[in-house]
Amino acid sequence: MSNENNKSPVDMFLFWGCFIALITTAFAFITRAFLVNTPSLWPAAFGLDAVQGQELFGAGIWPFAISIIVFSLIIDNVGYKTAMIFSFVCYALYAAMAFMAHGIVSGAEGDALADAQAKAYNYLYGGSVILGLGNGTVEAFINPVVATMFHKEKTKWLNILHAGWPGGLVLGGLLTIALGTQAAEDWRILIYLIAIPAIVFLVMLIKANFPVNERVAAGTSYKEMLAEFGAIGALIATAMIFGQLGQVFGWSAGLTWGLVAVATIGYGLYCQSVGRPILIFLCLIMMPLATTELGTDGAITGIMGEPMEAAGWNALWVLVYTSAIMMVLRFWFAGPIVEKLTPIGLLIVSAGLAIVGLFFLATAEGIAMIFIFATLYGFGKTFFWPTMLGVVSEQCPKGGALTLNAIAGIGMLTVGIVGGPLIGKMQEDSVANTLPKETYEKISVENSYLLGKYTAVAMPKVDELEGAAELKEEIKKAQQGALANITIFPLVMLVCYITLFLYFKGRGGYKTVEIGGDGGGAAH
């Protein structure tokens, strides 16, 4: 048995604290999705329209990527415990601001209610940003802690750690659904729900002695850490960070790219490196990967709505089911599978399964076929994220917390800025290519997003036509067909992973890079 499986109870207690911290982020994600998308909850309480609701939801996501990258630059100096406490404080502040928003609108009526709702929205938005920062900080400390503790089996244990995300989605989703009646009377109960795992991980970790990062223990300098990422890595990350901030705050393109140029040049001059080629390649792969997993997860409930409802099922069950698959496979089977296939082999198989699953989900009808192909998709996406983190940590250990977390931040930013909207455009294009041209021209409007202009269906125009109900079914079916087009992302990944396989084969096979640091042995 590997020495990694002989960790002391104290070490495993630290691991489980990190695991529960990740569950907290999943609870925050699923409850907020419920709050902003259920008409009787935040939309009713605060007078939110669909755009405002998604603005609030997005405000809890993009700060995640920024905090995970920024904290990674300083976490070895401020300490993992400081980051952990900061994340808990963010959860507490989010709850406080949500409760303040509730207090502002309580009892308000008429014109006073409209003013109160506008004021309360600012509290909800600010609280959502703080929550996103807290979620990102959780991953900023748990990823390097677990990679350091289990430095000889990083991919295996990062997969087990990240079973906490789908596990939290399943548990949090079921609890949210179960509390639906109570939440309709007082939505604050869902805020209390987040407090349960948050308090648990704080109690578990507040007195823990966190390990010294593998990079620090090996004597690798801060400058050497930055050099792994290099100027090209900095360009990718800062372009996305300032691009996202520019969208939020309305910066001009000149200001945005000016900041990117200054940050990239300054970073490159300091570390005197363009970055390790393999790390840059992995950063680029993370873009279609994150879009395949998180982007599709965010859209699949809506995409599969028509066939699931036709079979008498709630479309949410597709996400719950595939999340349950991820939880079980990551938690119990990651180790044996990684050992048998190697991380790159596992990623090749995963990409292949995702391609097949998504392609056949595009035309699946009937509950049996839907769940069969959802199973293939679920198996495919299970190991993407944590295995990529494992490969980065195993091949670029000198990068420490920075490279491990920056690639996760790049993935999240890709989904928010490009991946999610691009999947939406694919759905709209599928409708345009399916409906008769004369019909589509009557119901479509032109719009634009980051990558350019597009046309989309305007549902009020659909309602004005005779046979609107039948037309809506055709539109939903066409949107389901877009899943076949989404396979382009795992297809690109498959080509990249085969390239990596051939690269490592030419070097004698996949081997973990050792730099001599053992992370201080563990936590004591």
pLDDT per residue over 216-266, tens digit each? 988 999 999 999 999 999 999 999 999 889 988 889 999 999 999 999 999
Does 451 have pLDDT greater than 90? no
Spatial distance between the Cα atoms of 220 and 521, rounded to a whole number of angstroms: 17
Please list the residues that pair with 386 across neighbouring strands: none
Spatial distance between the Cα atoms of 286 and 283, rounded to a whole number of angstroms: 5
Burial bucket for residue 2 (CB in 10 Å: 0-12, 13-18, 19+) = exposed
User: What are the φ/ψ torsions at residue 449 (nearest 5 degrees)?
Assistant: -145, -170
Token pair 């949210």: residue: 176
Confidence of residue 86 (pLDDT cuts 50, 70, 90): very high
pLDDT tens digits along 461-511: 888 888 888 898 888 888 888 889 999 999 999 999 999 999 999 999 999
Q: Are 489 and 291 in contact (CB under 8 A)?
A: yes
Tokens at 140, concatenated = 């900023």
**Is 431 domain-assigned?**
no
pLDDT tens digits along 30-73: 898 888 878 789 988 999 876 688 788 888 888 998 999 999 99
Nearest to 154 by CA among 342, 328, 326, 25: 342
Helical residues (DSSP H) of 106-153, grouped into ranges: 110-149
**Is 391 domain-assigned?**
no
Q: What mean pLDDT is predicted for residues 155-166?
A: 95
The count of structural domains within the chain is 1
**Is 110 domain-assigned?**
yes
CA distances to 4, 154, 341, 449 from 1, in Å = 8, 16, 18, 53
Q: Taking the CB of residue 332, how many other CB atoms lie within 10 A of it?
A: 11
pLDDT tens digits along 171-185: 988 888 788 788 888
**Is 84 domain-assigned?**
yes
Structural domain range at position 77 = 9-212
Burial bucket for residue 520 (CB in 10 Å: 0-12, 13-18, 19+) = middle
**Is 504 domain-assigned?**
no
Query: How many residues in the chain?
Result: 524
**Is 333 domain-assigned?**
no
- Provide the residue type at 411 as one letter: G
Spatial distance between the Cα atoms of 424 and 443, rounded to a whole number of angstroms: 17
Confidence of residue 524 (pLDDT cuts 50, 70, 90): very low
Mean pLDDT of the chain: 89
- Provide the residue type at 52 as one letter: Q
**Is 43 domain-assigned?**
yes
Spatial distance between the Cα atoms of 454 and 452, rounded to a whole number of angstroms: 7
CA 440 to chain centroid, in Å, comes to 34
**Is 524 domain-assigned?**
no
Q: What is the CATH number of the domain that holds 177?
A: 1.20.1250.20
